[in-house]
Amino acid sequence: MNNTHYISSNPIDLKTIYNIVSEHKLIELSEESINKISTCRAYLNDKLKSQKTPIYGINTGFGSLYNVKISEDKLTELQENLMMSHACGTGDRVPSEVVKLMLLLKIQSLSYGHSGVQLDTVKRLVDFYNNDVLPIVYTKGSLGASGDLAPLAHLALPLIGRGEVMFEGKEYNASDVLNKFNWKPIKLQSKEGLALLNGTQFMSAYGIKSLIEAYRLSYFADLIGSMSLDAFDGRIEPFNELVHLVRPHNGQLKTAERVREFLSDSELIVQEKQHVQDPYSFRCMPQVHGATKDTLSFVEKTFITEINSVTDNPNIFVNEDEIISGGNFHGQPLALAFDYLKVAMAELGNISERRTFQLVSGLRDLPVFLVDNPGLNSGFMIPQYTAASIVSANKQLATPASIDSIVSSNGQEDHVSMGANAAVQALELLNNLKQILAIELFNASQAIKFRAPKKSSSLIESLLLVYRETVAFVSDDRELYKDIQSSVNFIEHLAIDTEEVFN
């Protein structure tokens, strides 16, 4: 197996990134990328020698200080000052896996040869990635408009020997880790600080991490929902392909197909029913889960476009002999996509909690709260409360961040996306959803036990066999928070074929 991924102009997609991360691949610049980076830097050096008029961000101040001309002997100081002054992040630390994605995506964006950075700068970022030297970055501070300025400043500080990094599980001053590897601090040249700080890699990294998690949880929503359907003695007819071919949304078709496959040889699903319809939380899984799948397709398209783009400013076009100050750093496309993702994934939690509620309600020959001796035992009464609480929290997190904007930089940056806030909210919401689905799994596994000797499908029965090794049937009241956490761990660590997840 080739354990190296070469950074090039070939577009990267979600599966590629998932494989890079899951297989712990190293990365390396292709010859194509090396040539593009070097050519662009040489062009910029020549332009600075021949052109006497100011060029924004290259020999001027930044933001509302764009009219301040900087002398040539101060250009390195200008870039380092930019880096230090913009490192104003607060709040929680960004998870290490997201920081590593930030490095990967920043390298990818700089490799196209439109940013004017030195080759040594990009190579050092590659060194950080390959050696798991991960800058400490904070979740709060980006407006998601002039790029992710504060988070990317923290990401870039270690290049000049400043800031802090995590290495081998410990926190170090960046200068100490540079010394460990005998790396000299990068001496930044004109434009480099701005190229490193402008960009959407904080939002994009959160987006990729969230998408991978969202696809997994979408799959689990279908699987656990199928288990609940069987446990509730539900009907299979609403999942018949004929129903969905006359309303052929892709996600709806896919969800119905999955449920049919998951329950294909179930004894429970084909037994004679005493009821002619199921509640919407069961019957309308294709329509609800499917709408979320279609949303994921849109969100994926947005983020894949973004990570294969140049998002700093100004942009340098060597062949056209143009340096253009534009706005590719603005995060509005990502902010809207995050908000759409949040709403769609919150709905999976919303409908999951309703299935849990139905399972504990004493319907269809299931005992009240899924336990023998109810009254003496409270059984599964309170896990549903917990799920309801998390569902409500997710509704709050799903409130759109992109509808807000606050003027900054003395009015120069007078509309911002707030996509960085949406990014952090999205990952938190997904972690909450995982807990909601874990509670449904816990309830459904208990309910199916009460259907014995009839069995669910071979797939679900085999899954439950593994699940019950860590979460046993609840005969009498016990501390259920431990079982809920075990259920969360089960979802986190259950391996699923990537073709199933991303298809």
What is the C-alpha separation between 224 and 435, in angstroms, rounded?
13
What is the C-alpha separation between 152 and 84, in angstroms, rounded?
11
- Residue 409 CB-density burial (10 A; 0-12 exposed, 13-18 middle, 19+ buried): middle
What is the C-alpha separation between 437 and 478, in angstroms, rounded?
20
- The one-letter amino acid at 116: G
Catalytic-residue membership of 56: yes
Positive or negative, the CA dihedral 40, 42, 44, 50 is: negative
Neighbours of 428 (CB within 10 A): 17
Phi, psi of 313 (to 5 degrees): -155, 145
Q: Which of 6, 18, 56, 66 is catalytic?
A: 56
Residue whose entry in the numeric block shows the structure tokens 């960009």: 199
Residue 135: cis peptide before it, omega within 30 degrees of 0: no
Distance from chain centroid for Cα 404: 22
- Taking a C-beta distance cutoff of 8 angstroms, is the pair 259, 218 a contact? no
What is the C-alpha separation between 286 and 252, in angstroms, rounded?
5
**Short-list 55, 5, 436, CA closest to 225:** 436
Neighbours of 184 (CB within 10 A): 11
- The one-letter amino acid at 390: I
What is the C-alpha separation between 264 and 457, in angstroms, rounded?
6
CA atoms lying within 13 Å on the CB side of residue 138: 17
- Taking a C-beta distance cutoff of 8 angstroms, is the pair 255, 322 a contact? no
Distance from chain centroid for Cα 48: 40
Contacting residues for 329 by C-beta, under 8 A, at least 6 apart? 145, 146, 147, 198, 199, 200, 311, 312, 313
Catalytic residue set: 56
